[in-house]
Each structure stands twice: as C-alpha cells, then as structure tokens.
Amino acid sequence: MGKRAKITIVGAGHVGATTAHWSAIRELGDIVLVDIPETGDMPKGKALDLLESSPIAGFDANIIGTTGYEETKDSDIVVVTAGVPRKPGMSREDLLNTNAKIVRSVVEQAVAQSPNCILIIVTNPLDAMTHLAWKVSGFPTNRVVGQAGVLDTARFRTFIAMELKVSVKDVHAMLMGGHGDAMVPLPRYSCVSGIPVTQLIPKERLDQIIERTRKGGGEIVNLLKTGSAYYAPGAAVTDMIEAIVRDRRRLLPCSAYCDKEFGVGGLYVGVPVILGGNGVEKVVEIELNDEERAAFEKSVAGVRTLVQQLGLL
C-alpha cells in the first residue's frame, strides 16, 4: 500500500483550520498547518488540538503546525488560505494588493519545498490570486487551481433545497465566472434529481435566490462583523482535496486556466472542470445562451482588470 498523501495548508486562521478539520475527518492524508512567525505557537496549538480529537473522531493522520516551510517538504497538495479577510463594506477587490504580496511570498516558499505539488488557492480576490500563484510557481496550468465555484454552488444548492424543502443531496447546480458579485449561476444547468430548477421555481423567485447566492459571502461577512465565512469554504476546499488525492475525477466548478476554452484568452476564471489526480484534467465547455454568455464575458472582464492591475497581463 502507498503512503498517505501530504497536505499543507498555509494560513491557520478560520478557513485553514476548518479545512484541516474536514480533511482529517475524511482521512485524506497527513496535514501540516503553516502560519507566519508572528503567530508564535498558534499553528502548533491548533494542530495538536485537532490531533487529540483523532481517537474520538476515529481518524489516523499525522497533524503538525509550524511557522516555517521545512516541514512542508514534498507535499502532494498545498492549499493557500493566507491573506486578509474581508470586513463589512469591503469588496474582494479591495484586498488585491495586500493579498498579492502575501500570496507571492507563500507560493515562492511552498513550491521551493514541494516542486511537484498541486496548488489550491483560496485567498481573495480569488481568480486574480490564482493567476498570480500560477505565474509565481512556474507550474503547468493543470497544477494550479482556485476554490470558488464549489463554495458558490454549495450556497446555491442550499438555497434551492430550502426553497423546495428537499434534501440538499438531490440538488445539483452549476455556475461560472469570477468569484464575486459578477458570478454567473446557470439555472438551466441546475436540477433537483434531474428536474431543471427552472421547472420547479418561478423565475422571479429563482432570480432572488441567484442574487442571494452572488452576495452569499457578503451576507456572512455582515452577520459575523469580524471576518468572513469559513465552515462552507473549508468544506469546499476539502471536496477539491479529496477529488485530487483519491483521483475521483469530479466534475466541479473551479477557477482554472482558460485560453481557447470559452474564448477567454489566457485567464484563470470559474468554469466546469474535471478534477482528479493530475489537478485540472480538463476544462468542460458547455453551451451558453446569449444572456449567459454576456454575463460570463462581463465577469471575465472584471477578472482581467484585476490581473492587469497586478501587472500580470
């Protein structure tokens, strides 16, 4: 039998620690939680606390915390959650320059130790940070992917299930575009046990649910007052880690590099992909009607602006 996968999570804050928690419970591999030296022994404390839950939760994993990168050596997956979270009234874009510095530094240090890893980026503004990580790492595009759509579709599916009073297990949804208020939910490609949601929910009500999905992160920021969402984002990253570690070849919406695909022309943006052992195995091109295409192109233009602001285009 092969050895356990090694998963490094950079950023031991709420999203990073919650990702570690979900990943440990699913027995996806050994985990290294990393944070900046200024946090002192905090990542060690969280890692030890999580490890001590293993006899009760019944998982086997080696979990350590550190403020350096030596212990991350030869990781299979490196998740980057490090960065400044949003505060009420802030857009994801407001975080651009601060988080770009953090992501650049993290990626340089992480890939020096794990040149064969797959990078999953979670830091906002998501699509621009994923593009930056790809440039800094020098990795092939399939080994750099951003977590956005798995979270956004989870929100969409939650609201559809609440509306129809059905199990979330039977709700499937798809969306595209940049992670933010310009994301493009696709009700035509969203269903409950194969029945399109457009047949189950009147258009006016569906539009309200879509709007709530778009602003889902902001809604939580405003309720928490002191940070942003972490349970659902952590679960979403864990789904992606599992797809890669177990080579599940899941069809999921992720921020992936598109050149000819959808006519994007060389940007990281949210699209349906097959996620497996090699990272992004394939971008799945689906038909878009005029309205969907226009919304997608508007969203892509927003991502392009941010990437240009970073001087990467």
Q: Is 30 in contact with 76 (CB distance < 8 Å)?
A: no
Distance CA 270, CA 214 (A): 13
172 as an active site residue: the answer is no
Which residue among the candidates 14, 21, 131, 179 is catalytic per the annotation? 179
Q: Is 80 in contact with 103 (CB distance < 8 Å)?
A: yes
SS (H, E, C) the chain: CCCCCEEEEECCCHHHHHHHHHHHHCCCCEEEEECCHHHCCHHHHHHHHHHCCHHHHCCCCCEEEECCCHHHCCCCEEEECCCCCCCCCCCHHHHHHHHHHHHHHHHHHHHHHCCCCEEEECCCCHHHHHHHHHHHHCCCHHHEEECCHHHHHHHHHHHHHHHHCCCHHHEECCEEECCCCCCEECHHHCEECCEEHHHHCCHHHHHHHHHHHHCHHHHHHHHHCCCCCCHHHHHHHHHHHHHHHCCCCEEEEEEEEECCHHHCCCEEEEEEEEEECCEEEEECCCCCCHHHHHHHHHHHHHHHHHHHHCCCC
Catalytic site residues? 179
